[in-house]
Structure 1
Amino acid sequence: MAIRKRHIFMYQQTAKTCKVSLAAAVMLIASLPTAASEYLPLRFEENWGADCNKIAPKCWRIGKAVTLTFGADARVRSDNYRPLNFGIGSDTGGDSLTLFRSMAHGDLRVGKHAQMFVQFGAYDEAGRRGGPISVDQSNPDLQQGFLAWNGDKFSLRVGRQEMTLGTSRLIAVREGPNIRLAFDGARAGWRRGSYRIDAFAFRPVFNRPRTFDDSVNKSQALYGLYATLTPESIAPLKIDLYWLGYERDQALFAAAQGQEHRHSFGTRLFGSAKGWDWNTEAIFQAGRVGNQTIRAWTISSDTGFTFTTLPWSPRLGLKADIASGDKTPGDGRLGTFNALYPNPTYFSEAALLAPGNTMDMQPTVTIKPVPTLTFVLGWNFLWKHHKEDAVYTPPAPLVVIPETIGTDRYIGDQIKLEGSYRLHPQWEIRAAAIHFNAGEALTQVGGRNVNFLMTSLAFRW
């Protein structure tokens, strides 16, 4: 028994050493010089080859046709909730936690088109009541690793990779939590001018806490087609058209459970002109959950006008969304919309609610005192689509609050103030303060108001 305890202790110490070593490597890399350039949300889309001789030791040129580029990301984020889960259930207290993320990658380019990208990550968490959850903590593991061909018209990427589509309403990298979402599979694309079509087949990565033990999640699958069209005849209007297939072995909704086979057919109209910007998306879903058929839908919009001639360039915006719910439980038809793998901070950084069985309206004001400093003030009003359905929360796909089935429709409203400041192209500070006023759909089952505070510091190299 003593030997076993010693082995467990040695493993824990080794795991901690691995995390500290990777974090130290990221900070060492951070001290190295770099060029001031644009960093992209998906790091493998960056191509530093043209500046390779100017940014050593970030990039090495091997002969005339090969470049090897290194990069790193680090983030510290603190969240404070009072209370958790709207105070519903046995756990009615608050929670304060700090998330630590460190990632390092290498990008090998051969010629103009061939690419091999590898990214490792280590993640830690401190303070969460009950200990870390699956997307909080992991010893060093493979975050991304793939081979790609990036041709002028045709592209192919095979292996573990991150993906985001459109405005991340259905597919996002899960930036708010500690471990970003990645998939195992393949993605092929065809481009001609401003037109692009992608086809993909993926399974999400199942995150485990030990070293290099992440695996493919065989209980879920995602596949589909996504096209972006920018016809000159209707410029500046742009159009996305897509079909997404989604499967999981066990789904749980307020009115259905069992195997889920869901198909999403969507279109997005977006663009900007003369100070106006618009983004409207409509999705219809069909399929089955258990022995029930799916008939679900959503319509979302974000429209704004920016006063470019005024100080701080204020933007007045209005978000309006509706995602269907289940009006008649037990009728053999499920009406609850499933947002699949969405951006959890779609409504606010607090990520209190998921876009299923909801109606909401959110006026916003955005100002930029300087180009690198942005503030967003918003007031979000939310209702259940149907009284008979429930309130749903993240993480994805959906988590039902059973106590809210059949309660009043008004969920509540939340006032948010969010800010971001880019100290340098590589450094960013973010903060958010949110107050959620619980409505009758929550107070009827003991729900209470929620206060949320967030701060984060992120670095990229």
Structure 2
Amino acid sequence: MMAFPMTPASGETGAALQPPPYRLNRADEDYRYLRDPANRSDFWDPVKYVPLDGAGSWYLSLGGEARERYEYFNHPAWGQNPQDHGYLLQRYFIHGDLHMGEHVRFFSQLQSSLEDGRKGGPRPSDEDELDLHQAFLDVKLDLGGDSTFTLRSGRQELAYGTQRIISVREGPNVRQSFDGFRVIYRGGDIQIDGFAAKPAQTNRHVFDDGPDNAKALWGVYSVLPLPLLPKGNIDLYYIGLFRRQASFGQGTARETRHSVGTRIWRTTAPLDYNFEFLYQWGSFGKGDISAWTAASDTGYTFGALPLRPRIGLRADIASGDEDPANPDLQAFNPLFPKGAYFSEAGLIGPVNFIDLNPCVDLHLTDHTTLIFDWDFFWRESTRDGLYNSALARVRSGRTSDAHYIGSMPQAQLFWDIDRHLSFTAIYGHFFAGRFLKESGPGEDVDYVTTWLAYKF
């Protein structure tokens, strides 16, 4: 898939005859264009902009979404987990966005995520009956021209770059949010964020998600134009992480980790690309951390051909621990990555891996895309094990010296039925490689998921 830039904060969208698409983070939407009655064409427009004063600078915007999802695994975890015959996942959001003039805003969002029928019960990111997902206050200052500075405090979603490091965790049933503070600068093509936060817990019951006081996240993320490359951009960032108890192949200990990285990207057809490089250092128990990752995603779209095919190649690598008996740690930590990092199946997570993933995207219509890809996986270090998408180690690295983990071809269909309703269907088959067969059950995995989502 193509890389996307850091999601900008809300801003003036200008008049538009057609409603804009919904954003990944619903807090990034702006409905001031509905001040003009001529722009009100959608069924939900009466609740998207509810003026509270004569001038229209005080207004309320309401919205929500529902996702009904089915998942099926044959030989989950390559035969290691109880056999599933399919289960249902449901997710619901409702939000209110109150603008008190041009400079003060309060946004609040509730989330309900439910699971039904999974053998072994719900995974940690499957179920959260009802909780406060976002609730923050914005104070925005105009700096002149199109430059603004916003102070944000409260519970909020964070998502940067292609969400390899910090994400909203869209794939799993329960999305991720954070409790903390954020400063946001927007000026022309320049975007700079500073943040200090703790991840919100994901607990199963009603209004029981407090801040996770055993973890802390802080940093600065910037997006800048790159004039040397036509329509190119560059991200520069520093991110700090503290975890009171972090687990890797060599054990569990206190972790303080610092990450510096850069991302060079372009999304404009016909050539799109995304290159990201990151280095980490810090401490793990009594040892020192030295870890790294490099990622690339390059594609070319043949716009003049039928179905406008995009041919792409993704290649990634992340370091693994070199010696579990040595207190120093070389395993990469992806911090808070998107749950569907390589695929919606979530079998493999972004720790100690090498992957090569050719793909082709076919645009069946303007609103329907069919993607075929085949992902091949190896371990970067044979001294470290295999981790899943939740960053938990699922196979020890001590029972096999094989690099090759296996491969997974997939077919993915994305259909935007209209602005509100979308349908997705995915099938993948994981061919277990030598490492999986030597380290435990090594069955091939069949995976099917499909969902219907509605937003307003």
Aligned mates of 1:350, 1:133 — CA distance in 2? 13
Structure 2 residues not aligned, in runs of 5+: 1-16, 142-146
Aligned mates of 1:68, 1:273 — CA distance in 2? 35
2:144 aligned partner: none
SS, match of residue 86 in structure 1: helix
Question: What amino acid sits opposite 2:425 in the alignment?
Answer: A
Contact 2:133 2:155 survives alignment (8 Å): yes
Aligned mates of 1:35, 1:306 — CA distance in 2? 26
1:453 aligned partner: 448
Question: What amino acid sits opposite 1:415 in the alignment?
Answer: P
Aligned mates of 2:235, 2:315 — CA distance in 1? 19
Deviation, structure 1 residue 256: 3.7
Does 2:133 correspond to 1:133?
A: no
Does 2:99 correspond to 1:104?
A: no
SS, match of residue 442 in structure 1: helix
SS, match of residue 46 in structure 2: coil
2:67 aligned partner: 75
Question: What amino acid sits opposite 2:73 in the alignment?
Answer: Y
Deviation, structure 1 residue 136: 2.0
1:122 aligned partner: 112
Deviation, structure 1 residue 146: 0.5
2:24 aligned partner: 41
Q: Deviations over 1:326-353 (max 9, x none)?
A: 2233233211111111012121121110
Question: What amino acid sits opposite 2:295 in the alignment?
Answer: S
Aligned mates of 1:138, 1:404 — CA distance in 2? 33
Does 2:349 correspond to 1:354?
A: yes
Aligned mates of 1:95, 1:114 — CA distance in 2? 50
2:77 is aligned, of 85, 89, 105, to 85
State which drifts further: 208-217 or 377-386.
Answer: 208-217
Question: What amino acid sits opposite 1:324 in the alignment?
Answer: S
SS, match of residue 206 in structure 1: coil
How much is the aligned-residue C-alpha RMSD, in angstroms?
1.6
State which drifts further: 341-350 or 52-61.
Answer: 52-61
Aligned mates of 2:396, 2:319 — CA distance in 1? 19
Question: What amino acid sits opposite 1:200 in the alignment?
Answer: F
Aligned mates of 1:275, 1:402 — CA distance in 2? 41
Report matched runs for 1:162-241 at 5 Å. Answer: 162-241=157-236
2:404 aligned partner: 410
1:29 aligned partner: none
1:441 is aligned, of 432, 435, 441, to 435
TM-score, L = length of structure 2? 0.90
Does 2:394 correspond to 1:401?
A: yes
Deviation, structure 1 residue 128: 1.0
Q: Deviations over 1:404-426 (max 9, x none)?
A: 43521100000011111010110
SS, match of residue 200 in structure 2: strand
Deviation, structure 1 residue 35: 7.4
Aligned mates of 1:150, 1:430 — CA distance in 2? 37
Q: By percentage of residues, which structure has more helix?
A: 1
Deviation, structure 1 residue 59: 2.2
Report sequence identity in percent. 36
Aligned mates of 2:220, 2:62 — CA distance in 1? 32
Question: What amino acid sits opposite 1:304 in the alignment?
Answer: G
Question: What amino acid sits opposite 1:226 in the alignment?
Answer: Y
Aligned mates of 2:268, 2:201 — CA distance in 1? 42
Aligned mates of 1:56, 1:196 — CA distance in 2? 32
Deviation, structure 1 residue 233: 4.7
1:56 aligned partner: 46
Contact 2:84 2:118 survives alignment (8 Å): no
Report matched runs for 1:251-330 at 5 Å. Answer: 251-272=246-267, 275-330=270-325
Aligned mates of 1:354, 1:112 — CA distance in 2? 42
1:427 aligned partner: 421
Contact 1:391 1:405 survives alignment (8 Å): no
Question: What amino acid sits opposite 1:201 in the alignment?
Answer: A
Deviation, structure 1 residue 140: 2.4
Q: Deviations over 1:365-385 (max 9, x none)?
A: 001110100111001111000
Deviation, structure 1 residue 124: 1.2
CA 1:46 to 1:274, structure 2 compared with 1: closer, same or farther past 3 Å? closer
1:155 is aligned, of 147, 150, 156, to 150
Deviation, structure 1 residue 113: 2.8
Deviation, structure 1 residue 313: 0.7
